[in-house]
Amino acid sequence: MFSRRVEPDPAPAPEPDIRERRSAFSTDRQPVPVNIGAESKTFPIQPPSFSSKIKLLNGAAGGGSATFDSATFDVATYDSVLESFGMDSTTLKQAFTLGQGAIPDDLFNWYTQQGFIGYQACALVSQHWLVNKALMIPAKDAVRNGYKIGTVSGEEIELETLAKIQAVDKDFNLPKQMIEFAQNTRRFGIRIAIFNVESDDPDYYRKPFNIDGVKAGSYKGISQVDPNWIAPILDAQAVANPASMDFYEPTYWLIAGQLYHKSHVVVARYADPPDILKPTYQYGGLPLTQLILERVYAAERTANEAPMLAETKRLQIVFTDVAAVTANPGGFEQRLRELIGFRNNYGVYVADTDDRLEQIETSLSDLDDVIMSQYQLVSAVSEIPATKLMGTSPKGFNATGEFEENSYYDLLENIQTDLTMLVERHHKLSIRSLELGDDLEVVAVWNPVSSPSAKEQAEINLLEAQQMGALQLTGAIDAGDIRDRLILDPKSGFTGIASFEDMEEIPEEDLDFGDLDGPGAPVAGVKDPTTVKGPNDEPSDETKALMAGAEDGELEYGTGEREDPSRIEDDVEALGELTLADPQLGARKEDLNDDPDNPGAAEDSNVLGYVRITPSLEEGARLHIWATKAGIANATRPDEFHVTLAHSPIGIEGFEPDPSAVYAIVPTGEIGLLGPADEPALVLFVDSPALRKRNAELGKMGAVSIYEEYRPHVTIKYNPAPGDLEKALAAYLANPVGKIVMGDEIRSLI
């Protein structure tokens, strides 16, 4: 009747939780299985319906086409036809389903979690400093160098019209609009710009865009809307017909109760998702913030580990008697607290003679490479070189950064493609609103995205100068071609100079040459000769030494003969203080307006047809030093440089030389040989409107020339040696002569 009570077995003790600590990385999260049965609800695309007629090419006998109707269709026949294509009904169904047979479940489920994070999450993630830089830097770089406004036909735009268009760009702050457009395209994956036009038609935005609906003064600017404020609306064709060009492209955008037809807005997407995912992304693009957030977290987490490792890199080991510790745990814990209290770089730990301690150091030598490698992965996702995103040299990948920089320029050009749609629609509305002409259609031509530094640009200009000099030596181009090339190149520094043709075609009444017939009149825009000095206010030490040698008769030239001091003006004291108003420093001692063999010939204008101008002795010394440094021996002496104004075998009627005239002469950059082949002269060609004007005046006075055209020049050397031409050209490319100031018209016998 009575039985002994049996005590139940005690419940087993719970096993300790030894699971690994999971991080915030997606690869450490437990994958969530995907409900394959719900695929028809998630993805609306289904296999072809057998109720419709199916036309299979290459399926019937003879390789022709066969048409099957559902009323007579059977699976066996369909399978036999599919087998001819290497398919069956099972493989066809798998192509349209979410089957995972070929992908491991964990791997497949991990990818399915890479879904859209939502626009609010995109905004929150973009607050991070590194994410913000990844969004902002390319947008600013793409806009920085700007663009030029051209026409579709290639014709030039009138300056007044261009100024009005640019004024509207400034009023609407177009650069800021472009930066915002590009930056938010990367942030949200989509950006919509609305062009605000005042219209009397209440359905203006509902109807397709028509430029004729834009009236004068109706265009008011651009507004941009974040995607969380918009809703896409698709018509029947956009939803149901995959063959439509507008399939899954919203026909309207609903913003604050107003329908905007897609033709009224400009839409940019960062990366288009496939059609099957477009509804998930609200018909926008993949946002960069979603693609980059995990890599940014990994980089920041790795960087934050650095100070923690620095504080805990030392591990101390205390060897002890475990049995004694078990017997007196309180004392052991007290000893540990004492050890921890003294455990820092400045504390002292007092150990017993029987205590045994060891310390293990964790090496941090490669930690910076590990950290930078994580940030370089962020750069890879953002398509920005690590050198630009982080402001440091790449590490870990053994990269130079050159390829990354070129890839970055490709990214900027792609951004400019999206911005071009915005700019050109803005200009189209501006032209119509300003009534600048219905036929005017402009385009935006972007300037290069890469801007060389000042040093790099100087090196480029030097290489181009050397190239042009080499081409000039071959005769392929001349000085005029080089000058035109410099004028057209905005980076040459010579865009404002006049071409040779323009210099010759300037009307005489528009040139301010002063009164050439009056004494001491300025020429070619040069200041009053009483105040103008040579090219340098103070002569160089080299020039002073040369002048001192000339004064003492000790200046030697290539012939080995000393200069006769009587050929140079005796009074050269205070050379740096002399001005061009003083007597010509390079004037010869003998009176060149008189023929020493025929006294009184100066009064006979029929035999004096050679007119030239000379530089000051200081200017002549500068030219002589330049030629000598070029390696040209026996160069023209400082007091013998000149430019010929006229070389006439017939007398010049009524001409009186002006000893105080001043000419500003510019070298053309062309150096060549003139004269007979057996006695040529190495010359530097120069030009000046004043020279040509004076030459023309002398022609009106009766001067004639034995040459076809007047080509003013400065003779560097008579009878040049082989190689002197190349030396002079190389010297000019490396160190151009610059402006030459001459004066003191001199007349003599031919």
Query: Whole-angstrom Cα distance, residue 579 to residue 76?
Result: 111
Alpha helices in 116-158 (DSSP H): 119-125, 129-144
What pLDDT score does 296 carry?
A: 95
Query: How would you write 80-117 as a 3-class SS string?
Result: HHHHCCCCCHHHHHHHCCCCCCCCCHHHHHHHHCCCCC
Question: Per the structure block, which two tokens stand in for 334?
Answer: 């007290």
What confidence tier does 406 reach under pLDDT thresholds 50, 70, 90?
A: confident
What pLDDT score does 87 carry?
A: 56
Note the Cα 633 to chain centre separation in Å: 46
Q: Shortest CA distance to 27 belongs to which of 414, 340, 294?
A: 294
Which of 137-146, 188-197, 485-494, 550-559 is least confident?
A: 550-559
**Residue 481 near residue 469 (C-beta atoms within 8 A):** no
Q: Dihedrals φ, ψ of 139, to 5°?
A: -60, -45
Mean pLDDT of 159-173: 93
Query: What DSSP element (H or E) covers 713?
Result: strand 713-718
The residue behind tokens 């006229």 is: 646
Q: Dihedrals φ, ψ of 540, to 5°?
A: -70, 160
Q: How many CA atoms lie within 13 A of 266 on its CB side?
A: 21
Which of 159-163, 270-274, 588-592 is least confident?
A: 588-592
Pairs from 678-681 (Cβ < 8 Å, separation ≥ 24):
679/718, 679/719, 680/719, 680/720, 681/715, 681/717, 681/718, 681/719, 681/720
What pLDDT score does 354 carry?
A: 74
Cα distances (Å, whole numbers) of residue 453 to 450, 457, 459 = 10, 6, 10
Contacts of 83 (CB under 8 A, 6+ apart): none
Determine the longest span between alpha carbons in the chain, in angstroms.
172
Top-confidence residue, 394 or 528: 394
Angle between helices 174-188 and 129-144 (to 10 degrees): 140
**Residue 680 near residue 719 (C-beta atoms within 8 A):** yes
**Residue 575 near residue 534 (C-beta atoms within 8 A):** no
**Residue 731 near residue 674 (C-beta atoms within 8 A):** no
Tally Cβ neighbours within 10 Å of residue 404: 21
Query: What DSSP element (H or E) covers 30?
Result: none
What confidence tier does 74 reach under pLDDT thresholds 50, 70, 90?
A: low
Cα distances (Å, whole numbers) of residue 253 to 256, 419, 612 = 10, 20, 80
Q: Dihedrals φ, ψ of 371, to 5°?
A: -65, -50
Q: Where are the domains of the chain?
A: 314-361, 463-505, 522-748
Angle between helices 367-382 and 129-144 (to 10 degrees): 50
Strands 356-361 and 681-687: unpaired
Q: How many CA atoms lie within 13 A of 52 on its CB side?
A: 6
Strands 230-233 and 252-255: antiparallel
With H, G, I as helix, E, B as strand and everything else as coil, classify residue 440: coil
What confidence tier does 293 reach under pLDDT thresholds 50, 70, 90?
A: very high
Question: Residue 681 burial by CB count (10 A; 0-12/13-18/19+): exposed, middle or buried?
Answer: middle
Query: How would you write 238-287 as a 3-class SS string?
Result: HHHCCCCCCCCCCCEEEECCEEEEHHHEEEEECCCCCHHHCCCCCCCCCC
Query: Whole-angstrom Cα distance, residue 415 to residue 431?
Result: 24
Is pLDDT of 527 > 90? no
Q: Shortest CA distance to 676 belongs to which of 640, 718, 710?
A: 718
Q: What angle do CA 624, 720, 479 make, to 5 degrees?
A: 75
Question: Per the structure block, which two tokens stand in for 622?
Answer: 């500068």
Top-confidence residue, 736 or 123: 123
Tally Cβ neighbours within 10 Å of residue 296: 22
SS3 content of the chain, % helix, strand, coil (to 5): 40, 15, 45
Could you report the per-residue pLDDT of 419-445, keeping only the tens digit for each? Answer: 999 999 999 999 999 999 888 999 999
Model pTM?
0.55
Is pLDDT of 603 > 50? no
Query: How would you write 370-404 as a 3-class SS string?
Result: HHHHHHHHHHHHHCCCHHHHCCCCCCCCCCCCHHH
Which of 453-467, 593-607, 612-626, 730-744 is least confident?
A: 593-607
Tally Cβ neighbours within 10 Å of residue 457: 14
* 634 φ/ψ sector (left φ>0, alpha ψ -120 to 50, else beta): left
* 401 φ/ψ sector (left φ>0, alpha ψ -120 to 50, else beta): left
Top-confidence residue, 166 or 362: 166
Mean pLDDT of 633-639: 89
Classify domain 522-748 by CATH architecture: Alpha-Beta Complex (3.90)
Query: Whole-angstrom Cα distance, residue 252 to residue 260?
Result: 5
**Residue 155 gets which letter from DSSP?**
P
Cα-based torsion angle of the residue sequence 16, 20, 23, 26 in order, rounded to the nearest 10 degrees: -120
Query: Whole-angstrom Cα distance, residue 657 to residue 589?
Result: 17
Mean pLDDT of 336-346: 73
147 DSSP β-pair partners = 446
Mean pLDDT of 281-289: 95
What pLDDT score does 646 carry?
A: 87
What pLDDT score does 86 carry?
A: 56
Query: Whole-angstrom Cα distance, residue 617 to residue 547?
Result: 8
Query: Whole-angstrom Cα distance, residue 722 to residue 731?
Result: 16
Convert 515-553 to b/e letters by CB count within 10 Å (16 or more is b). eeeeebbbbbebeebeebbbeeeebeeebbebbeebbee
Is pLDDT of 652 > 50? yes
